[in-house]
Amino acid sequence: MSERHSITPKEVVVNESSLELQDPSQRDVEPEKKPKAPWWSYIWDYDPGRSHEERVFIQKLDVFLVTMLSLGYFIKNLDQTNIANAFVSGMKEDLRMNGNEINLVDTAWTVGYVVGQIPSQIILTKIRPSIWVPACELLWTVLTFCLAAAKTSNHVIGIRFLVGLAESIFYPAAHTILGSWYLPSELGKRACIFHASSAAAGMFSGYLQAGVYRGLNGVNGFAGWQWLFIMDGVISLPICIAGFFILPDLPENTRAFYLNDSDRALAKERMERVGRAPRARLGRSAFKRIFGRWHVYLLTILYIIFINIGPSGSINTMALWLKSKGESVEKINIIPTASKAIQLVATVSFAILSDLIRRRATMMSVSTFFGGLSALLLAIWNIPDGLKWFAFLIERVAVPYGPLSMSWANEICGADAEERAIVIGIMNSMGYAFNAWVPLLTFPQIDAPRFKKGFIFSTCAFGAQAIITATVAFMHKRDQRRRQDLRDEASRIRDEEGTAVSTH
């Protein structure tokens, strides 16, 4: 299939047949203008040159692949958010977690997450994603049920380590899979819609805990926070099972029931069109190639800063502030969902804009600005209550930076499938390797709700994030210029050789 040129709504197309007419009076006909693009072209994919076959193919991917990954990420984040909500809804008192035990729970999860990360990404190059990913989802769902039976904080710590081990596959695997199916003009929106499910999970967890605490607290001898984990497992189980049948693997080995032979050929052609290579054998030469480039080093630093810029997942700074003000359990769980709603809107909006203007670094910088502003205001702390509410509500506008950086990594490493998988795995694993201990120093539970040193650290870290974003953007543009210069030089040499041949 030939490469298609993407036509923007403002381009003018000349009707070539009019130039071939012999009637001189018709040679001065005005160029035919392309019909005006629909309004939705500014927020979603619009390519007039795209065939009906390709449009249907992309719709299939959106319905099955994006939906399945979003649901998987939803249950992963539901599990993580439930710890924070359970902690402020009775688990702290029932399990006597009065010191920094919640930080140790986070550390245990993070250690498991880091240990499993790179091995899981390597396994992903050997085993079908449609087998490996749902199997890991099923394991962490069973472990989530087990949390309801925890009697001490040590039980929670041990189970959370195993949960982290099982969940380590999902996030980098999802971005690897998305990057194997979507073009750069399509990827950012899908990656951020996928990531927005984490905000939806945070909101849902708050509503679920409030409802469970009101309706099930004490039923059959289980506390409200225990019912939260039971309901979490019940919701997760069917999603895990569906993954075995719906995840499409990769273009070169897919056997998804909703893709026909023409779709499979089109998927391969689309990736070849943008220079995104299929998987090859992962050997010593591949690692030498990967670690000989700047990508793995700067992108890893970028992601380490992002992951550790705020508190760990079980520390909800707004919820702890509300608890210190004496708010009810229901309000403590429901009010912070407003910041998750803002995160969801910001994530989708930034994704649409980043795909539209094709400048990942620009939108990542906007995300950094809002996060830095929130951290600065909370570091000052002694500010009017209205301003403090504003700071807490915009706190999670910093989160879209993460999926945008993963989309960016997919594009920067797009010409090398092994590098793409390994770099994304290293970014995530190194980010969480630091996350195993940095939040213990920056946002310990005993500092709640003020977290003075934590918010000061975050303010400085957002500054560092802005610098590393600009550095990666500079290096990426430099590489793009060099590749263009090489293509121009090769074209010039071919033209000279062709001219020399024709003179003879």
Task: Mark the ranges of the chain whose per-residue pLDDT is less than 70.
Answer: 1-35, 37-43, 276-283, 498-504
CB 199 within 8 A of CB 399: yes
* Whole-number pLDDT of residue 206: 78
Q: Please name the amino acid found at residue 104.
A: L
**For the chain, what is the mean pLDDT?**
84
Rounded CA-CA distance 172/141 in Å is 19
For the residues of 21-32, what is the DSSP string, one character each? Answer: -S-GGGTTPPPP
Cα-based distances in Å from 114 to 109, 131, 135, 156, 264: 9, 21, 18, 18, 34
Selection from 63, 16, 1, 104 nearest residue 314 by Cα: 104
- pTM of the shown model: 0.69
The pLDDT assigned to 43 comes to 65
33 - beta bridge partners?
A: 12
Q: In the prediction, which pLDDT does 184 show? A: 79
Note the pLDDT tens digit of each residue in 443-452.
Answer: 988 898 999 9
In 216-336, where does DSSP find H-type helix? 224-246, 261-273, 284-290, 295-307, 317-324, 329-334
Is residue 297 within 8 Å of 392, Cβ to Cβ? Answer: no
Q: Which amino acid is at 7?
A: I
Q: What is the pLDDT of residue 391?
A: 96
Please compute, for residue 71, the number of CA atoms within 13 A of its CA located in the half-sphere on the CB side.
20
pLDDT at 6: 39
Residue 24: cis peptide before it, omega within 30 degrees of 0: no
- The Cα 175–Cα 143 span in angstroms is 24
Residue 55 carries which side chain, given as an amino acid letter? R
Residue 271 is predicted with a pLDDT of 86
* Whether 177 contacts 68, CB under 8 Å: no
pLDDT single digits (tens) 51-88: 889 999 999 999 999 999 999 988 888 887 788 888 87
